[in-house]
Amino acid sequence: MEEGKTILLVDDDSDYLFQLDHNIKKFGFQTISAESQKEAEEILKTTKPDLAIFDLMMENDDSGFILCYKARQKYPDMPIIIATAVASETGISFDLHSESERKWIKADLYLEKGIRPDQLHREINKLLKI
């Protein structure tokens, strides 16, 4: 059932992106990878992935939030995960538990990097209703 589903992966850490891409493909999904907000915006102009996973801090500290906003405008029903290490790097943490946070963070799920592959697989399947 996962065959044919495409996930957009966006992260400026090429090692993390490679590992994420490898795991997502092992789950049976197709992937499109981008290493910047700008590159992801270009992809989203012509391609609608089934799900997207965005890093938060790339060219700008809020690149992931900007991508969420722009992706939601074009594809309002596309599930979005923000996967970030911002809490460990800055001490600032976000979540999507309150309505006000969900209004401005335009993502369906917020994950701290370091999530186990099996847990990530379950979360993706939940969002894609597989």
Residue 126 lies in a domain: yes
Do residues 44 and 71 make contact, with C-beta atoms less than 8 angstroms apart?
Answer: yes
Do residues 110 and 96 make contact, with C-beta atoms less than 8 angstroms apart?
Answer: yes
Residue by residue, pLDDT tens for the chain (130 residues) are 456 899 999 999 999 999 999 999 999 999 999 999 999 999 999 999 999 999 988 887 778 888 989 999 999 999 999 988 754 454 455 555 555 554 545 678 888 888 899 999 999 999 999 8
For residue 81, the domain's CATH number is 3.40.50.2300
Q: How many domains does the chain have?
A: 1
- Tell me which residue range forms the domain holding 130: 41-87+107-130
Residue 83 lies in a domain: yes
Residue 81 lies in a domain: yes
pTM: 0.84
Do residues 83 and 94 make contact, with C-beta atoms less than 8 angstroms apart?
Answer: no
CB atoms within 10 A of CB 92: 9
**Edge-to-edge, what's the strand order for the sheet holding 30-34?**
30-34, 6-10, 51-54, 80-84, 109-112
Residue 72 lies in a domain: yes
Residue 23 lies in a domain: no
State residue 6's pLDDT score.
Answer: 97
Residue 71 lies in a domain: yes
